[in-house]
C-alpha cells in the first residue's frame, strides 16, 4: 500500500533550512528568523516560510541550533541505581521526585532528560559535560568514590550540579527537612502512647540524610522522656529486605519496644513484614512510622503512617539550584508533613 512511502521518506538526508528557503523564495537566515519567533520579520514572509516548512516536513536540527546558540534549554537528571538493575532497582521515591522536577522545569520552559545509570556505566555526566544540558541533577546515593569525584569535577569546572538526598563534596544539596520530619515522627509516636522506641536506620556519612533522621528522632524521643535506640541495618542501600532483617534481629534479641520509626518507607515495609510474621499486631502492639510518603505506603495493611516532603517545592529548589544565580554550594530543606494513617 503506502509501505514504499514510509520507507522512501525515512531519513533520506534531512530537509535543511536552505531547501525551505529556496521553496519559500527567501534566504536561509530568513527561515531561521521565521521559525525562531524573531520579530524582525514581516508577517507575510513568515507565513510563506511556515507554509514551505510544513510542506517539506522541515524541523530545526537541534544539534546545529544548539551548537550555534551555545545553550540547550535542557536539564539533565541522573537517577543512580544498582548495577544491572536499571529502573527496576530505583527507590520509588526517586520517581515521585522526578515529577516535582518536571513540573518545576516546565515552569521555566526547560526540557528534562533522565538517565537511569548504574554507577559503573558511562555516567550520564558525559552528556552534560559534552554540552548537551545546562546542568545536572543527581538523585540517589552512591558509595562509589569515583562517581563522587566525577560529579564533583563536573560541578566545579563544567556545569552546575545539584544533589538530592546526600551531598557529595561541596555541590548544591537539596534534601527533605530531615530534622523536622524525624521530630514529627517521634512526637506522633509518643503522643500515641509509645514508651520504648526503636529507630531503624543507619548512621553513615554516605547516607547523610539518614544520619540526620536518626539523630533528630532519637534526640526528640529522649527529650520527650521515652527510651529510644538505633537498630542498625545491614549496609548497602535501604531496601525492604534490610528492614525485615533489622526487625527480626530485634525480635531474636528479645528487645522490647512499642514503636518503630524507619528512616525510609521501604525499610518500614520490611519491618511490618517481620512483625506480622511474628504475630505482632500493628498498631495495637507496635506502632510504625516511615519516611518519604511513597505511593506504595498506602498499600500495606494497615496503611503506613509516614513523613511526606513537598515534592513540588523540592523540584523547584533543585531546578533553581542548577539554573539560578544563588550562592554555591548551598543547602536547602524541603518542608515535610506527617501523613497519619493506620500504622501509628
Partner DNA sequence: CCATAGCTCGCATAGCTATTCAAATGAGCG
Partner DNA sequence: CGCTCATTTGAATAGCTATGCGAGCTATGG
**Taking CB under 8 A as the rule, does residue 262 contact a second copy?**
no
State which residue, 60 or 206, has the beta carbon closest to a second copy.
60
DSSP-derived secondary structure letter, 172 = E
Cβ at position 212, least distance to DNA in Å: 42
DSSP-derived secondary structure letter, 208 = H
Residue 301 interacts with which of DNA, a second copy, none, CB < 5 to 8 Å by class:
a second copy
**Taking CB under 8 A as the rule, does residue 276 contact a second copy?**
yes
Which one of 28, 45, 60, 192 is in contact with a second copy (CB under 8 A)? 60
Q: Which three cell numbers stand for residue 76?
A: 539533565
Which one of 285, 296, 326, 340 is in contact with a second copy (CB under 8 A)? 296
State which residue, 42 or 281, has the beta carbon closest to DNA.
42
DSSP letters spanning 294-305: -GGGGTSSSPPB
SS3 73: coil
**Taking CB under 8 A as the rule, does residue 305 contact a second copy?**
no
**Candidate segments 26-34, 102-110, 182-190, 204-212, binder of a second copy by CB under 8 A:** 102-110
Residue with cell 531561521: 32
Cβ at position 88, least distance to a second copy in Å: 4
Cβ at position 196, least distance to a second copy in Å: 26
Nearby residues of 47 by Cβ (< 8 Å), 6 or more positions away: none
**Taking CB under 8 A as the rule, does residue 192 contact a second copy?**
no
Q: Which three cell numbers stand for residue 322?
A: 542548577
**Taking CB under 8 A as the rule, does residue 323 contact a second copy?**
no
Per DSSP bridges, beta strands 161-164 and 135-139 are parallel
**Candidate segments 124-132, 173-181, 195-203, 220-228, binder of a second copy by CB under 8 A:** 124-132
**Taking CB under 8 A as the rule, does residue 152 contact a second copy?**
no
Residue 40 interacts with which of a second copy, DNA, none, CB < 5 to 8 Å by class:
DNA
**Taking CB under 8 A as the rule, does residue 111 contact a second copy?**
yes
Measured between alpha carbons, how far is 128 from 221 in angstroms, rounded to an integer?
Answer: 44
Measured between alpha carbons, how far is 207 from 248 in angstroms, rounded to an integer?
Answer: 23
Measured between alpha carbons, how far is 177 from 10 in angstroms, rounded to an integer?
Answer: 51
Cβ at position 73, least distance to DNA in Å: 11
**Taking CB under 8 A as the rule, does residue 6 contact a second copy?**
yes
Measured between alpha carbons, how far is 230 from 255 in angstroms, rounded to an integer?
Answer: 12
Cβ at position 276, least distance to DNA in Å: 57
Measured between alpha carbons, how far is 34 from 53 in angstroms, rounded to an integer?
Answer: 10
Cβ at position 85, least distance to DNA in Å: 31
**Burial grade of 111 (CB within 10 A; 0-12, 13-18, 19 or more):** middle
Question: Interface residues with DNA (CB under 7 A)?
Answer: 13-14, 16-18, 25-30, 32-33, 35-36, 38-42, 44-45, 58, 60-61, 64-65, 67-70
DSSP letters spanning 21-45: HHHHTS-HHHHHHHHHT-SSS-HHH
Measured between alpha carbons, how far is 108 from 335 in angstroms, rounded to an integer?
Answer: 22
Measured between alpha carbons, how far is 56 from 50 in angstroms, rounded to an integer?
Answer: 10
User: Which residues contribute to the site for a second copy (CB under 8 A)?
Assistant: 5-6, 9-11, 14, 57, 59-67, 72, 84-90, 92, 95-103, 106, 111-116, 121-122, 126-127, 129-132, 156-160, 269, 276, 295-296, 299-301, 311, 328
Amino acid at each position: 500500500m503506502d509501505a514504499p512511502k514510509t520507507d522512501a521518506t525515512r531519513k533520506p538526508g534531512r530537509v535543511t533550512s536552505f531547501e525551505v528557503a529556496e521553496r519559500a523564495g527567501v534566504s536561509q537566515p530568513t527561515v531561521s528568523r521565521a521559525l525562531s519567533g524573531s520579530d524582525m520579520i514581516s508577517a507575510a514572509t513568515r507565513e510563506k516560510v511556515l507554509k514551505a516548512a510544513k510542506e517539506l516536513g522541515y524541523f530545526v536540527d537541534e544539534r546545529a541550533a544548539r551548537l550555534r546558540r551555545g545553550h540547550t534549554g535542557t536539564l539533565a537528571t541522573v537517577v543512580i541505581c544498582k548495577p544491572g538493575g536499571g529502573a527496576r532497582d530505583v527507590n520509588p521515591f526517586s520517581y515521585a521526585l522526578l515529577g516535582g522536577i518536571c513540573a518545576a522545569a516546565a515552569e521555566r520552559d526547560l526540557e528534562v532528560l533522565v538517565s537511569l545509570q548504574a554507577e559503573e556505566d558511562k555516567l550520564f555526566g558525559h552528556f552534560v559535560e559534552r554540552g548537551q544540558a545546562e546542568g545536572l541533577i543527581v538523585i540517589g546515593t552512591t558509595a562509589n568514590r569515583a562517581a563522587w569525584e566525577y560529579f564533583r569535577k563536573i560541578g566545579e569546572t563544567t556545569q552546575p550540579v545539584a544533589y538530592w538526598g546526600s551531598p557529595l563534596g561541596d555541590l548544591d544539596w537539596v534534601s527533605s527537612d530531615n530534622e523536622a520530619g524525624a521530630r514529627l515522627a517521634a512526637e506522633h509516636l509518643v503522643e500515641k502512647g509509645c514508651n520504648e522506641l526503636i529507630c531503624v536506620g543507619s548512621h553513615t556519612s554516605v547516607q547523610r540524610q539518614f544520619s540526620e533522621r536518626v539523630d533528630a528522632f532519637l534526640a526528640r524521643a529522649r527529650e520527650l522522656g521515652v527510651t529510644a535506640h538505633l537498630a542498625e541495618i545491614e549496609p548497602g542501600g535501604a531496601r525492604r529486605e534490610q528492614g525485615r532483617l533489622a526487625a527480626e534481629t530485634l525480635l531474636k534479641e528479645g528487645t522490647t519496644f512499642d514503636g518503630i520509626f524507619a528512616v525510609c518507607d521501604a525499610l518500614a515495609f520490611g519491618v511490618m513484614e517481620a512483625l506480622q510474621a511474628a504475630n505482632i499486631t500493628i498498631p495495637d502492639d507496635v506502632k510504625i512510622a516511615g519516611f518519604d510518603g511513597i505511593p506504595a505506603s498506602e498499600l500495606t495493611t494497615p496503611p503506613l503512617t509516614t513523613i511526606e516532603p513537598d515534592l513540588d517545592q523540592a523540584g523547584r529548589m533543585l531546578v533553581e539550584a542548577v539554573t539560578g544565580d544563588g550562592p554555591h554550594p548551598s543547602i536547602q530543606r524541603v518542608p515535610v508533613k506527617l501523613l497519619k494513617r493506620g500504622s501509628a
